[in-house]
Amino acid sequence: MAITLKKIAEMVGGTVSGDENVLITGVGSLTDATRGDISLFYDYRYREYLKKTKASALLVSKVTALYKGPQVVVSNPLLSYARVAALFAVPTPTFPGISERATIHESSVIGNNVSIYPFVYVGENASIGDHAILFPGVFVGDRVRIGERTIIHPNVSIMHDCVIGKEVIIHAGAVIGSDGFGFVRDGSTNVKIPQMGFVQIDDQVEIGANCCVDRAATGKTWIKKGVKTDNLVQVAHNVTIGKDTVIVAQSALGGSVSIGDSVIIGGQSAISDHVKIGDRAMIGSKSGVAKSLPPGEIVSGVPAMPHRIWLKTRGLITKLPDLVKRLRVLEKRVDELERSTNHSGHDND
């Protein structure tokens, strides 16, 4: 596909500086772009790449003299880039209808124009929305509902009674609706507490590869509209995640955790059972959050502390040996002072 820079500028509401008739055939970062690609420049730290880039045009927030080719000025180059890239992206490959090698229970309702690849299993009384794509190895349990235009990548397991919205993307290997981790001791034995709820994933959510989202003990584990999780994230039973929240790889949300809207959770973080995180809070990578946070709070560390304190603290940890030494020196000096002061008769004992 080839498209003029002029058309691209129109699409993203930008203005062209330079030759607007250049034909664009793809996208790329400053270092990856080849001839015909449009790239983007929005972070001054990458200005060194501007001279060497092979990109045929740039999306920029203001015209830069460091690049000779045509530039499209937009308010948010990265956002415009995302929109332009979508034009050139390989569309998700579809399968013409329902494979004869898929096994679908006769009681289930399958929408129009679906792609159901070989080796997909759909249980009883499930429903699959129009234009949904189910890749090979997908398991859909009994009574599961999957919305329109949702894409379920290979080897994903969606256990019974879960509800998946429209335009959801679930990446390969993820497990939705596994049992929550609930046991009660009877002497030394752990007795299983039946996990009788389900998982509800709302529209436009994206779940990363090999993530696990457990079903609720009773009621539902609920991931609201527009949430995005990276890979290998653990969501325990009865968690609620608010709209548009972003969770980076390998984080874990404990049982009954409640996350607000538009929260950002850094990688390898952990949030303890029953904790509530307010809207727009930000949690740094590798944090351990054991207490609830108000809206807008920014924390880091284990235990999580206000990010500005953490910035001061983290450097000091490496200075602990030095602090101990200074303390020891000071103790000796005070010993000496006390001795000499006593010498001269100032003993107050």
Q: Which of 16, 132, 159, 239 binds a copy of itself (CB under 8 A)?
A: 159
- How far is 265 from 31, CA to CA, in rounded Å? 29
**Is 251:233 a contact under the CB 8 Å cutoff?**
yes
Residues 187/188/191/193 CA torsion (nearest 10 deg): 90
User: Minimum distance between the CB of residue 101 and a copy of itself, rounded to whole angstroms?
Assistant: 6
Asked if 76 interacts with a copy of itself (CB under 8 A), we say yes
Q: Cβ(56)–Cβ(71) under 8 Å?
A: no
Shortest Cβ distance from residue 334 to a copy of itself (Å)?
Answer: 5
**First and final C-alpha spacing in the chain:** 92
Least distance between a copy of itself and beta carbon 71 (Å):
19
- 237 a catalytic residue: yes
* Spatial distance between the Cα atoms of 342 and 349, rounded to a whole number of angstroms: 10
Smallest distance from the beta carbon of 86 to a copy of itself, in angstroms? 5
Q: Which of 73, 121, 130, 298 binds a copy of itself (CB under 8 A)?
A: 121
Q: Which is nearer to a copy of itself, 112 or 331 (CB)?
A: 331
User: Residue 260's closest CA among 239, 277, 238?
Assistant: 277
Residue 312 binds to a copy of itself (criterion: CB under 8 A): yes
Q: At what angle do helices 77-88 and 5-12 cross, to 10 degrees?
A: 120
Whichever of 132 and 216 has its CB closer to a copy of itself, that residue is 216
Q: Give the Cβ contact number of residue 214 at 10 Å.
A: 26
Give whichever of 23 and 78 is closer to a copy of itself, judged by the CB atom: 78
> The tokens 């039973």 sit on which residue?
237
Binding test (CB under 8 A) with a copy of itself, winner from 36, 267, 276, 292: 267
Which of 178, 276, 298, 307 is the binder for a copy of itself (CB under 8 A)? 178
Q: Is the dihedral of CA 11, 170, 160, 183 positive or negative?
A: negative
319 scored as a contact of a copy of itself (CB under 8 A): yes
Q: Can you tell me which of 107, 191, 291, 295 binds a copy of itself, judged by CB under 8 A? A: 191
CA-based radius of gyration for the chain: 28
The piece of 6-14, 16-24, 66-74, 282-290 that touches a copy of itself (CB under 8 A) is 282-290
Collapse the DSSP code of 329 into the 3-class scheme (helix H, G, I; strand E, B; otherwise coil) and give the result: helix
Supply the DSSP string of 135-172, one letter for each residue: -TT-EE-TT-EE-TT-EE-TT-EE-TT-EE-TT-EE-T
CA 211 – CA 35 distance, rounded (Å)? 38
Name which of residues 35 to 54 contact a copy of itself (CB under 8 A). Answer: none
Pick one of 14, 129, 137, 260: the residue that binds a copy of itself (CB under 8 A): 137
Catalytic choice (131, 171, 237, 343): 237
State the amino acid at position 173 in one-letter form: G
Q: Which is closer to a copy of itself, CB of 2 or CB of 90?
A: 90
Closest CB to a copy of itself among residues 22, 174: 174
Show contacts with a copy of itself in window 194-253 (CB under 8 A). Answer: 194, 196-197, 206, 208-210, 212, 214, 216-219, 226, 228, 230-232, 234, 236, 243-244, 246, 248-250, 252
Among 18, 36, 136, 278, binds a copy of itself (CB under 8 A): 136
Going by their DSSP bridges, the two strands 189-192 and 183-186 should be labelled as antiparallel
Q: Which range touches a copy of itself (CB under 8 A), out of 6-14, 17-25, 62-70, 186-194?
A: 186-194
In the complex, what is the shortest distance from the CB of residue 278 to a copy of itself, in angstroms, rounded to a whole number? Answer: 15
Please give the positions annotated as active site.
237
